[in-house]
Structure 1
Amino acid sequence: MIACRGCGKTDLIRVLDLGKTPAADHFPRVAEPVCAEEMSHSLAMELCRACGLAQLADDDTIADEPRGVEPQALRDQAGDAIERVAAAGWLRGDSVFEFGSPHGGTWIPLLAARGYTPVKSAPDVVLDCFGIMHEKDQRAAFDTRSQLIRPGGVLLLQYHSLMTIVRQGQWNALRHGHFAYYSLTALMRLLGEVGLRVATAWEFDLYGGTVLLAAVRENVHHDDVVDRILATEEEFGITDPEVISDLQRRADLHVEELRSWLESESSGGRSVFGYGAASRAVALFSRAGLDARLLAAVADASPAKHRRRMPGTDIPIISPAELLAANPDRVLLTVPDLLAEVAARYPELDGRWQVDGQ
């Protein structure tokens, strides 16, 4: 990539390189053999030293992800978020527009229950929950959101924090189709360029650390919450390439530890299945060189993924019912936020869950 997706400057530095991997959102039919072309897509992250935006370096894939099932954790967090925003007085007016995420889920019903009407232009509230990261041209995406807001309106923008990604070593947050990874530091600059000012923010435990911010066109001064997040990011070094580059070490260690654990389980005669055919697992499975000998299958709640396989591997994707019928010794959970939901839904597997990365 030649120029930053956010500010257009060319001062980019590579901070994470995962080499050639499968496309993160293309799940082939299980009968299709794995081929070399499947593993031909570069996956790397670059950091702009001008604006601080972390971003997908290049993407030659075509979005083709089967529709997933929205986890309960996301639905619960959405309800909590709207309650907190409303309590703070930031649900303005009575009309709303939502920039959706390709992964599904919507906050519109929550706003409709409060009397909001969905409109296509000049809304009082513009919602974006994990949507804007899917835009290749970040600068244009921010401008589009700014121009849409009605005078006196508010943009509610939710994102998975880059601070969380780096601090917790969530290197596999990097995936094809996800073009940007945000710190509040970078967002203040990018939103400012399109005439928006961040007024306040709320923090949530989702994905280890998610932030929802409120931005307006008025010349407001941000509150103490924003000051605290910015100070924490500055102390951590969120715009320092050397700090972000620690993701490379964490990625290599994660792959080594997962492969070692699976081989140990196999040597001990214990069967291991997975749960969660998530796009975040694609690069992990590929880099670890996993196959059905080590991980027999991955269950997923989405019927659209059944009878397919994990990209770059021969590991089939099965239904939860098939997982229970297989009665495995261990179950690798690829999405930690699902633990409470799956533990409650499948008590038969109590004591067998192994949360990836923990």
Structure 2
Amino acid sequence: MGGDPRPGTRCRACGGADGRVVLDLGDQPPWDRMPHRDVPLPDPAWPLRMWLCAGCGLAQLEDDADAVEELHGVEPRAMAEQSDRSVGRLAREGLVRPGGRVAEFGSPHGESWLPRLTGRGMTAVDPAAAPPDGVDLVVDFYGLLHEPDQAAALDRRVRLLRPGGTLALQLLPLGTVLRDGQWFDLRHGHYAYWSLPALDAALRRHGLGVHRAWWYPLSGGTLLVTARAGAAPDEATRALLDEERAAGVTDPSGLGRLQDAADGAHRLREWLAAERDAGRTVAAYGAASRAVPLVCRAGLDAGLLAAVGDASPAKQGRRMPGSDVPVVSPAELAALRPDRVVLFLPELAAEVRAALPAVEDGGGRWVVLDPAPHLLEPDRALSRG
């Protein structure tokens, strides 16, 4: 488990040099470099390792690949519904109000929150041109994840706030990644994997403190966090902080469980080989960033996985990085009449099954990784047969 860091490694949040590698996925192609199908293998690859800072507890990408093109996906309904819930929660807390000013740091993982916020009477402000007296609310929708310099990124967000203003962040906490063994959430271009305790400590170095945190089931457990100057966590948030500490989110031995989970990726390949030998065709759905390390770590190819369906036109006609597995449209996926479809984004099960009834109508079964492949029971309500 773990290993020695690259010489010269410094924490992206506190600048400390004391730490260790807690997850090593070897050389991996960047998830956002999705080649066209006619581009020959092999693809360029770079080391993909998670480094844990011993000083501040931030788990982070040790090094990164060269900057590459980022393909935007189609926002799933589940993500849009979560954005509605998050903005609704901020409104109920009195943080979204007519006449208030808001600045947003967004990401490729969903649509902007600004239409929801301006629709409630707030005025959107460009973070690069904020008024000198600041804004009332800064929202970060997975934006922090994409910042190589976490200290500078937090400073930019805090400096935008007027006195008494609030920073709101939505993120997938390290506690969820660790609890569910989601080692494949480590990928190039995603620089920081914040636990709630490490985030609280970092914000306090920048003059804020976590005040509230609300848990939602998206992606296994997503947090909406608010922070402001002089704030102390409420009782429910203290319970979430204690829960993550107990899980070992700042402990190298605790995070070592992610390496154990990653080392079990071969089981997916073995299952696919058994399905092929039984004469069954297997495809997958969701050419998402988290699918890339999974496909590469398991060593999958088109002989085992016929295709990956995805609703994003920008990804169709390409292939999974590091593999010859093609990315196809949902209609093309259904036309394959697969016997099994592995859902790389299990939180989208209801949405995808409703959109692709032809899979089950044709006798196919949906599969989730839990962590071994698990067949979902047929949903008769969705069937058109």
Q: TM (normalized to structure 2)?
A: 0.89
1:74 to 79, 85, 92: 79
* Alignment of 1:278 onto 2:284: no
| Structure 1 residue 90, shift from structure 2 partner | 3.1
**SS in structure 2 of the partner of residue 304 of structure 1:** coil
2:60 alignment partner, one of 55, 59, 79 = 55
Aligned equivalent of 2:41, options 31, 34, 37: 34
Show the counterpart of 1:174: 186
User: Using the alignment, how far apart are the partners of 1:141 and 1:13 within structure 2?
Assistant: 23
The aligned residue for residue 262 of structure 2 is 251
1:1-358 map, 5 Å: 2-35=9-42, 38-91=43-96, 94-120=100-126, 121=130, 122-217=134-229, 219-253=230-264, 255-350=265-360, 352-356=365-369, 357=371, 358=374
Could you tell me how far apart the structure 1 residues matched to 2:263 and 2:63 are? 21
Kindly state the Cα deviation for residue 310 of structure 1 after the two structures are TM-superposed: 0.4
Once residues 284 and 324 of structure 1 are traced to their aligned partners in structure 2, the CA distance between those partners, rounded to angstroms, is: 23
Shift of 1:317: 0.7
Q: For 2:350 and 2:232, locate their aligned partners in 1 and report how far apart those are by CA, in whole Å.
A: 39
State how far apart, in whole Å, the 1-side matches of 2:325 and 2:177 are. 27
DSSP 3-state at the match of 1:250: helix
Question: Displacement, 1:40?
Answer: 2.6
Contact conserved, 2:208 with 2:231, CA < 8 A, in 1? no
Instruction: Indicate if the aligned counterparts of 1:90 and 1:214 stay in contact, CA closer than 8 A.
Output: no
Shift of the alpha carbon at 1:110?
1.1
After TM superposition, give the deviation of residue 240 of structure 1 in Å: 0.8
Is the CA contact 1:61–1:176 (under 8 Å) kept in the aligned structure 2? no
What secondary structure, in the 3-state scheme, does the structure 2 residue paired with 1:314 have?
coil
Q: Give SS of 1:228's match.
A: helix
Cα distance in 2 for partners of 1:268, 1:291 equals: 17
Deviation >4 Å, runs of 4+? none
Mapped contact 1:196–1:216 kept (Cα < 8 A) = yes
Residues 24 and 311 in structure 1, CA contact (< 8 A), matched pair in contact too: yes
The 8 Å contact of residues 20 and 39 in structure 1, kept in 2 or not, is answered as no
Q: Distance in 2 between matches of 1:67 and 1:78?
A: 17
Q: 1:238, 1:312 → 2: CA distance?
A: 30
Q: Tell me how far 1:355 sits from its aligned partner.
A: 1.4
Counterpart of 2:151, as a letter, is R
Superposed displacement of residue 185, structure 1: 0.5
- Which structure 2 residue ranges, 5 or more long, are not aligned? 1-5, 375-385
Quote how far apart the aligned CAs of 1:88 are. Answer: 2.6
Displacement of 1:224 after TM fit?
A: 0.8
Task: Tell whether the 8 Å contact from 2:73 to 2:108 is kept in structure 1 after alignment.
Answer: no
Partners of 2:110 and 2:211 lie apart in 1 by 27
Provide the C-alpha distance between the structure 2 equivalents of 1:104 and 1:198, rounded to a whole number of angstroms. 24
Q: Deviations over 1:252-306 (max 9, x none)?
A: 11x1221111001100000011111111111111121111110011110000011
1:261, 1:169 → 2: CA distance?
19
Q: Partners in 2 of 1:16 and 1:39 — Cα distance? A: 21
Shift of 1:67: 1.4
How many pairs are equivalent? 354
Deviations 1:134-185 (A, max 9, x none): 0000000000000011222111111101001011000000000000001110
CA distance in 2: counterparts of 1:245 and 1:133, whole angstroms:
21
- Whole-Å Cα distance in 1 between the matches of residues 84 and 45 of structure 2? 40
Q: CA deviation at 1:39?
A: 4.7
Contact 1:130 1:159 in 2 (8 A): yes
CA contact (8 A) 2:172 2:221 kept: yes
Q: Deviations over 1:295-335 (max 9, x none)?
A: 01111000001111001111111111111111111111111
- SS of corresponding position for 1:311: coil
Q: Is the 8 A contact 1:63 1:177 kept in 2?
A: no
Structure 1: tracts of 5 or more residues without a match:
none
